Structure 1
């Protein structure tokens, strides 16, 4: 799944028995498709019976158990027993795209699952959530034997709501080695809750259209049909969809011919799909829509981009189509394995909670993540489309073909995809220099979370992650961005050649159906060690010993280089130095640290932390190009030499490290390791800087100062200083673009120009600002976000209403997204309160955008207290809508509290925690907010006067 929408929980993990955390990731990708194909070949129905398409079954009341079930039984636990293993499913679903007489949208269906008994049992537990089951006689399921096996009669069935099971008690035992078939018929709501089998709505030419679509990850396949809904429970799926004539049905496999049949006295279409590969339930997808597509075919592979008909007609899918094939080809070479399916469908949905989802053969996206219009979309939009496509296609092998055994090792999926997405994007857009942007997009992003004591290790214990909300909390910056950062570090200290060689160096074919580090660690460590030996890489420790320290303990070190003594030391970096981790690290918060370094502008041989660095009067720079996952501090003399070099000859310092010096300095200052004035001194050279990464890093870090001081007397002097620093860059781009009539040539220049215009307008410099209602088509796409926000902020109700109409009528999702965010820029409290109320109405603000809109409003200094009051006043509704398992939900708590820096606000947070007992997937986001607010209070108290004085003097 694509990243960027979740900031979440710390789940403590201690004493995990792991053999090769990083090498596991490498070798798990060593998939040779020829052998895998033989394992995935679909056999004849294996005794499974294709269920007949059902008309709408009559719901039944939940049958009562004969006797109340005792507590602490298997159905009270969230993990499935290990007695049964599914082999294949036959599933038929019929979504109704028109409401029933009661206004409800529904789907009906039937399912049969063929499973093998591997341990004697008299109990069947199968996941089932929010489905009304139809009786077969006296019970809600029918059990039959396969290949001559005779099952015992069903004694009792009921639904266990809390753990989401259909419980089937038998009067006898199922026998190990025997195979059985379980049949169910059911009805469910095709709700607009963005989970399981749900509906999405849009208007085209004034006509309302409904899409039936899916989002199964992590635990919502059970909302579509009863199934063994854990990633290790792989099976082959035979999917059939019943749908309205004229609509298009899609699923993971290639569709067969559409048949018209009669059901319930009406003509409907039936589409059957080729059987899937053996796969996990969370990767299933089935969609019924009125969509169109663009396509191409290369060899035996069909690539299609699906979207609303108008979007396809306007060419919004063309860019994605042009890049999908080349990215797939790149990954085939990277993984040394052929793409295992006959088609690659990608579809843009109006309502989708995540960024995208890697369903095998049918990838689902937000419209903003797949559709691109060169006349309206910005370069940032284009970059996002490319990297998210690369991320999802990377999963076709790692995640889909080879899968984690349980969600505690989610980072193996998402961390790897988040790393190689940059490689895939670079392969198709080599002029963008996009591989370096991982430092901004992932490394710096996750440092902020991993520097809290409420962070968590990359890998957790299985027993610590059981409930759906706990699983959802793992879809956070740690799993995605820290995973990517640590794997990039591994690739750098081994070299990319050795890293890739480790994928297949042993020639061993690894296909486990599912993979878990603790199960395959020994073989993986062996293979990884062979790769290192083959290329004669000199390491101080074995690869898995090095990587265990980065995977099994949370956090990261600050490496201090003392150029006077030559000593290099490390310490666990925490934003609040007085905070103490509540869990014990298996490695005492020490890491094996690879150090790439530079002396006086010349790069030196790679070393490890145990070595010493000699300097004298020459400046030393650690972590060249930020290839390591750690921060760097220096003695005061070396800091002064580095600052002087930035002032006199900044280009001798690599551009990534110019960004790093500021990012490290500002965060070291927040942690009281260096003085805040030293951090501010790193910005003095910026009037000479023209590159994107240093300016973006400065903007990100100074944003903290805006948050802490934009309600105080410090704000004015800070604003005046920043004007003097940014004006030369503004003039540079103004001249480069002939007074904003042209556009820069380079990709990062495009993005940088937009960034600097944003900073200028934020500082109150209005030269070059365009009126939002005066020929907005003349505003280049890269500048629209900033111009829209500025115009809404400077205007009143008339401008806001005009922007609202533009938002409602935007035909490109990226344009609508810009306008939706800009509407939160108004300084009128009554307009912001009205906008907050709109987030409760999905006809105004889509559910996928509700939490983001509240966060946009909270980012406005006027809107922040309004958003906080709104969230508290409407908490029960918000929690019921988004709190159980929404990946974006934790963002809400962090977003509305990030400006908190007073004792009063901390008391409000603690009171909020006391007033409610449940926070769902935002539980630890609340803990992080409390921890962050506590640190902010201390920092402001200690730094306010010196910061004010520094800006006044500067």
Structure 2
């Protein structure tokens, strides 16, 4: 139950009257809903009239003619505030449907003359009021135009009201609507989540509004720049609690068995940040600085098992860090964070009520792994970073999503590092973000960080923006900016920017980010007021090169001459880049470098070719550029310097930082794929690994060798590759066996724990003696006593489960399935779900694929990732490909129109494609399903074809050399 606030008698009576009125209205609506739903069953869309300007066939190009044909709202009306009352029904009605009913009043101001009201509404049945779908009134003295007609436009998701006369500029109006909707399990808008606790089925009403789903909950101006104040009232059963963005006031109404919870007005904010939840969860809480209430909400079992304690403990330090970083107090009076059983994304930064997947918020001190703990800390840090940058200061339109998500993806490391300083987590950004996005941004089908507004229109295009470019490249580029400015100057610029946005309310529609303003703020104030900081251009000019053109450069340094050049790096050098660039794919490149172990003065490469004589080597030594991978570019050298760096790795690898060892490996492998250096040079970077004990270089090597595994695990090359990996991993396996006293202790270092996982996982896969037997014995002992899992440390569970199931039979799989169904810890269920995809038994994999579309077996939020896990298995890949092709219509309808993760399905299934047959199948699949569409995976399909084409060429050109090299190295 929410906190009860003491209020005056008069206020209390007023609220009771409002509550009673709302109850009468909504009870009537609830009754009407069943009749309306039955009447409209079988009809498409909203069950209302449709715009006549929609295209008549799927093949006819659609040309917008009327204002409601455009996906962007007209600029004639600006919302001021909303009063929204909702009543979700957590029991099915007579037709088996879960529904919600409600009404809302939106107050808006007319800023341009118009005789139209166009407002978003999607999958809502609106009650007809006086013959129309809404009622209009004026808050001023101006006459109120009558509504001539009203209709819905399915394509653009609008409710349109045609008025008899024009609205008066400067006047505010109120639009009232009654509505009903389905509380579906589609993970969008106002939706339903279900779970079992003590054998009892529980139902939650929860929400996910980003990016275009607030319109599914109530009619609204559903664009990020259309900020307003929200006043929310939730009617719910007395056995549940209601939560929203603001603090709650609970009112009991004696005459009916429900509770009315009214929430205080929010700050001015975007519709996509609105949240409301009805559940029977419990909480833990604490009071932080400035009397801030912090609460963690979760299932009763999770809270009683102390799974919320870590989140509560880490939230305080992270908030404290960001208050100092932004030089601004946390802008709200409370911070709720809630773990949901069904949630499509990892988390969502709703202002004051952050929603999470259970795996992103809950941590069990006994049964969770170090990776689970890191995920909780970094995701909380990411979401809390948005409370200022994203929520207080918001993007104007989704084409600049990168600034929102890229920024949070960068500073999440800073917040988590403050909370957990012993982890050295800031180093991991090169694995999690830089190297990850390098692979995507090296494609000819990539796109700039900041796209043109006209390129991002419909909901599928908006969802497509939630990709590696926006998140990972955004983080990498902002990290580079912070590095060459220094972190202190960067943070100072952000502080000034936030202050400017808050005090000058007319900029960018009030509190919405302008890229120009941000970069000018950093440049004109922070940089110019910092003595000794010199950069060759304004920050604005430098960053335009990185944000307005796609891709990144490879910088080539010739240490024989001192010549330095840059070129647009493409993974397939034969691919054609169709996207023009006003900068001709030339960047202003900040190069930090060292000579023979000594840091040198940074060098800026400002054109295609430069001469920097200090990089010339005349009497030995070596040059290493992009120290600590601070810049967003790859580095190539002349053959002599490559030889010297490889010699250094073999003789004294610790002369280079772990990040630069990883960089040398990653750059070399990708330069070889792009035909800039030969493949054997790249493979030579892995010869020293038998001496390597650190995680970051090993992880870099394994990720790059994973490409070779994907390309060759169906060919004769795989045996030689396995033999080489066995030779290199054996010393690491023995090292961890020794320091853990025969696997009985846990390594002390954060990344050492990760590398122990690598040592065991790879050793078992390549056949290191005793590894498989060790794993199988641990798993067998667990099967014999399911109530105890004494030998398997949480860090190793994913590896142990996968290995035991891969080399086991149906008995091991069925045991995992039983444990999965009975798991009460979300991270344990996630481990088991991934491990079951490791089996080599085809019929088990096919059965598992069928399970993904049965929500009683696999949650809808987990279906796409489970199919990906199966496709990752060499046996499961063709099965998953056939499965998806056969069921594309259904899968697309369920996931393709708005799910941010949908692109991962296409990427995951096609990752191994490297034959002409697979390319032709992929093209045929694309052609045959154009009428269905690919939604948010449209770009992913194009990239899959591009990557498959490149894979075919690479395998053809390199297979023989790769086989020879691995054979010689293991002879």
Question: Is 1:491 equivalent to 2:461 in the alignment?
Answer: no
State the distance in 2 between where 1:339 and 1:506 align.
Answer: 16
Counterpart check, 1:163 vs 2:156: yes
Of 641, 646, 649, 2:649 maps to 646
The partner residue of 2:263 within 256, 273, 289 is: 273
Query: Is 495-504 or 623-632 further displaced after alignment?
Result: 495-504
Partner of residue 599, structure 2? 603
Measure the CA separation in 2 of the matches of 1:445 and 1:56.
53
2:275 paired with 1:282: no
Aligned to 1:707: 710
Normalising by structure 2, report the TM-score.
0.91
In structure 2, the residue matched to 1:921 is: 936
Among candidates 583, 589, 610, match of residue 585 of structure 2 = 589
Mapped partners of 1:171, 1:566: distance in 2: 75
2:314 — aligned with what?
323
Distance 1:877-1:68 versus aligned 2 partners, 3 A rule: closer
Partner of 2:575: 579
* 1:52 paired to 2:22: yes
Q: Deviation string for 1:817-840 (max 9, x for gaps)? A: 000000000000000000000001
C-alpha distance in 2, partners of 1:467/1:505?
A: 34
Does residue 774 of structure 1 match 2:774?
no
2:302 is the counterpart of 1:311: yes
Q: Secondary structure at the match of 1:329?
A: helix
**What is the CA-CA distance between 1:507 and the residue it aligns to?**
10
- Per the alignment, residue 826 of structure 2 pairs with 813
Structure 1 residue 63: deviation in Å?
8.5
**How far apart are the structure 2 equivalents of 1:294 and 1:479?**
34
766-775 vs 97-106, which moves further: 766-775
The 3 A distance-change label for structure 1 pair 131 and 84 is same
1:521 aligns with 2:516: yes
Q: Which runs of 5+ in 1 are unaligned?
A: 1-44
Any residues of structure 2 matched to 1:848-863 within 5 Å, and which? 848-863=861-876
**What's the counterpart of residue 61 of structure 2?**
none
Unaligned 5+ residue runs, structure 2?
1-13, 41-45, 55-63, 783-788
Separation in 2 of the partners of 1:337 and 1:833?
54
- Of residues 359-368 and 517-526 in structure 1, the stretch that sits farther from structure 2 once superposed is 517-526
Query: 1:167, 1:467 → 2: CA distance?
Result: 18
Structure 1 residues 522 and 883: alpha-carbon distance in aligned structure 2, compared to 1, 3 A threshold: closer
How far 1:534 sits from its partner (Å)? 1.9
Per the TM alignment, residue 760 of structure 1 is displaced from its structure 2 partner at its CA by 1.1
Q: Is the 8 A contact 1:65 1:156 kept in 2?
A: no
Residue 323 of structure 2: aligned partner: 332
Cα drift, residue 772 of structure 1: 2.0
Q: Does 2:880 align with 1:867?
A: yes
Distance between the aligned counterparts of 1:69 and 1:790, measured in 2?
Answer: 57
Alignment of 1:444-843 (within 5 A): 444-504=435-495, 509-511=500-502, 512=507, 521=516, 525=520, 528-535=523-530, 536-609=532-605, 610-612=610-612, 613-616=615-618, 617-765=620-768, 766-767=770-771, 768-769=774-775, 770-775=777-782, 776-843=789-856
**Is the 8 Å Cα contact of residues 403 and 514 (structure 1) preserved in structure 2?**
no
TM-score where L is the length of structure 1: 0.93
Q: Does 1:888 align with 2:883?
A: no
2: CA distance, partners of 1:492 / 1:159 = 50
Moved more, 64-73 or 718-727: 64-73
Preserved CA contact (<8 Å) 1:149 1:179: no
Give SS of 1:503's match: helix
Structure 2 SS opposite 1:742: coil
Tell me the CA shift for residue 527 of structure 1. Answer: 5.3
Which residue does 2:250 correspond to in 1?
Answer: 257
Q: CA deviation at 1:523?
A: 7.9
Q: SS at 1:721's partner residue? A: helix
Matches within 5 A, 1:383-462: 383-462=374-453
- 1:84 equivalent in structure 2: 77
Secondary structure at the aligned position of 2:108 is classed as strand
Larger RCO, structures 1/2 (Cα 8 Å, 6+ apart): 1
**Equivalent-residue separation in structure 2 for 1:636 and 1:893 (angstroms):** 38
Residue equivalent to 1:941: 956
8 A Cα contact 1:347 1:364, kept in partner: yes
Structure 2 counterpart of 1:183, from 168, 176, 188: 176
SS at match of 2:494: coil
The answer on whether the counterparts of 2:523 and 2:538 sit within 8 Å (CA) in structure 1 is: no
Checking the alignment, whether the CA contact within 8 Å between 2:497 and 2:518 is kept in structure 1 is no
- How far 1:391 sits from its partner (Å)? 0.2
Name the CA distance, whole Å, in 2 between partners of 1:676 and 1:241.
62
Instruction: State the Cα deviation string for residues 444-471 of structure 1 (Å, max 9, x = none).
Output: 0000100001110000111111100000
Describe the shift of the 1:653–1:921 C-alpha distance in structure 2 as closer, same or farther (beyond 3 A): same
User: Cα offset for 1:533?
Assistant: 2.1
Which residue matches 2:3?
none
Deviation at 1:518, TM superposition (A): 8.9
Alpha-carbon displacement from aligned partner over 1:677-712 (angstroms, at most 9, x marks no partner): 000000000000010100010111110011000000
Distance 1:517 1:879 in 2: 33
Quote the residue 2:356 is aligned against. Answer: 365
Distance (whole Å) between structure 2 residues aligned to residue 483 and residue 65 of structure 1: 43
User: What is the rounded CA distance, in whole Å, between the counterparts of 1:517 and 1:682 in structure 2?
Assistant: 47
Which residue of 145, 148, 162 corresponds with 1:152?
A: 145
Name the CA distance, whole Å, in 2 between partners of 1:746 and 1:310.
Answer: 31
Conserved 8 A contact 2:396-2:514:
no
The 3 A distance-change label for structure 1 pair 506 and 474 is closer
Residue in structure 2 matching 1:111, options 104, 111, 119: 104
Match of 2:965?
Answer: 950
Structure 1 residues 524, 575: CA separation in 2 closer, same or farther (over 3 Å shift)? closer
Give the match's secondary structure for 1:427: helix
Change (3 A) 1:213 1:560: same
Aligned 8 A contact 1:662 1:682 in 2: yes
Rounded to whole Å, the distance in 2 between the matches of 1:916 and 1:836 is 21
TM-fit CA distance, 1:66: 11
Of stretches 856-865 and 372-381 in structure 1, the one that deviates more from structure 2 is: 372-381
The answer for the alignment partner of 1:26 in structure 2 is none
Query: d(CA) in 2 for partners of 1:907 and 1:653?
Result: 45
Distance in 2 between the 1:659 and 1:105 partners? 52
Q: How many residues align?
A: 904
Q: Is the contact between residue 88 and residue 100 of structure 2 (CA under 8 Å) also seen in structure 1? A: yes
After superposition, where does 1:112-131 map in structure 2 within 5 Å?
Answer: 112-131=105-124
Secondary structure of 2:165's aligned partner = strand
Structure 1 contact 231–514 (Cα < 8 Å) conserved = no
Contact 1:56-1:187 at 8 Å conserved across structures = no
More displaced, 361-370 or 750-759? Answer: 750-759
